[in-house]
Amino acid sequence: MVWLNIVLNRLVWLVPTLLGLLAIVFVLSRVVPIDPARLAAGDNASPEQVAAVRHSLGFDRPLPEQFLRYVAAVARGDFGTSLFTQQPIADDLAARLPATLELTLVAIVLAAAIGIPLGVVCGLRRNSWLDHVLRVVTVSGLAVASFWFAMQLQFLFSMKLAWLPLSGQIEGFPPEHVTGLMIVDALLTGDTEALRSAVRHIVLPAITLALPAAATVVRFTRNGVIGVISSPSVAYQTAMGYPRRLIVWKYVLRMAVTATVTQLGLIFGILLAGAVVVETVFDWPGIGAYAVRSILQSDYNAIMGFTLWAGAIFVAVNLLVDLLQAAIDPRGAR
């Protein structure tokens, strides 16, 4: 019942949110001083040819009409055609989604698996040397530019030590297509060669993405634990002789991670919308790299499609976070 309410509530807001997003992106894309018709027509096109292209693309219509046409097309599932790949944007995005999804999932799992235990320990041993060390590390983790960190990793582990590949998603033949996620497909088809290659390729980009995410997780978990550890329920359980580890890792943890879960959801959304820098540095064939290329080429149908995708992801992630919160905290029934 609670879940249904949350879902309905979010769905009601979905339409105006996306419409607003579309409007903003549309206006921005039309005020930039680039003529898409000229771009599409090519460098050697005559003014007449450019005008013809402009007419065929509908750019000679009034702006409101263009916007309405665009919205109507989107409503039909038509995000337009990339000016460069000549493919429907939806197909381009769909083709690149698995790579981004795989990288994001690995990075998030890594960030949670490292960040939550460290955050709990820091919260319990507040102001211990470990807490101080991790504070420095987490602040650095958030402050360090990811392209710089990525390049340091590449320099050390790929070029100097030659332990891991420099870039790309896989070497040799990819595994048979099942889900689109390389590691999962390799596991499902028992392709150990591809599995090894896929895992080796994902390590560095996943670490690069996981570093700031883990830093955020550590900080939120630590603060959550500090807030909960002095609560009356912990004092009660201590007085009643519940074992310390049970109190901490079951009762305190669940209360402490509510804020962390929200943060993880947001990070998940950000990464899923395309880890722009990391995908570019590691030449990862995902949505982020696609977005960068579209921007550099002024392929604004693609830019708008990507933006819409990112917005939809955020709405979906918010819904997911709300549902998770409801699962964690039964008082959400209010």
Partner 1 sequence: MSDILTVADLTLGFRTEAGPARVLDRVRLSVRPGEIVGLVGESGCGKTTLARAILGTLPAEATQVGGGRIELAGSDMLGPGGGRGVRGRAVTFIPQDPFASFNPLFRIGTQIMDLMRWNSPRRDPAVRTGWYSPARRRADRAAAIAMLEAVQLPQPARILRKYPHELSGGQRQRVMIAMALLPEPRLVIADEPTTALDVTVQAQILGLLRRLAVDRGVAVLFTTHDLGAAWEICDRVVVMYAGQTAEIAPREGFFAAPRHPYTHLLLRSLPEEGRDPVGIPGSVPSPLRPPPGCRFHPRCPRASQVCTEQAPPLLGEGHLTACHHPVGGALGDTLDG
Binding stretches for partner 1 (CB under 8 A): 231-233, 235-243, 246, 250-251, 254-255, 328-331
Shortest approach of partner 1 to residue 290 CB, angstroms?
Answer: 41
Shortest approach of partner 1 to residue 330 CB, angstroms?
Answer: 5
d(Cα 200, Cα 182) in Å, to the nearest integer? 12
Output 195 or 247, the one with its CB closest to partner 1: 247
Instruction: Please check whether residue 282 is in contact with residue 170, taking contact to mean a CB–CB distance below 8 angstroms.
Output: no
Output 55 or 125, the one with its CB closest to partner 1: 125
d(Cα 199, Cα 123) in Å, to the nearest integer? 33
Q: Dmax over Cα atoms in the chain, in whole Å?
A: 86
Shortest approach of partner 1 to residue 247 CB, angstroms?
Answer: 9
Buried b (16+ CB within 10 A) or exposed e, 78-103: ebbbbbbbeebbbebbeebbbbbbbb
Which tokens hold the place of 107? 């990075």
Shortest approach of partner 1 to residue 241 CB, angstroms?
Answer: 2
Shortest approach of partner 1 to residue 276 CB, angstroms?
Answer: 37
Output 177 or 244, the one with its CB closest to partner 1: 244
Output 146 or 221, the one with its CB closest to partner 1: 221
Output 86 or 230, the one with its CB closest to partner 1: 230
Residues 6+ apart with CB under 8 A from 173: 194
Shortest approach of partner 1 to residue 233 CB, angstroms?
Answer: 5
Output 208 or 260, the one with its CB closest to partner 1: 260
Shortest approach of partner 1 to residue 322 CB, angstroms?
Answer: 16
Taking alpha carbons only, the member of 208, 177, 178 closest to residue 284 is: 208
218: number of Cβ within 10 Å: 27
Output 5 or 128, the one with its CB closest to partner 1: 128
Instruction: Please check whether residue 219 is in contact with residue 139, taking contact to mean a CB–CB distance below 8 angstroms.
Output: no
CA distances from 310 to 63, 239, 270, 276, 284 (A): 24, 49, 8, 12, 18
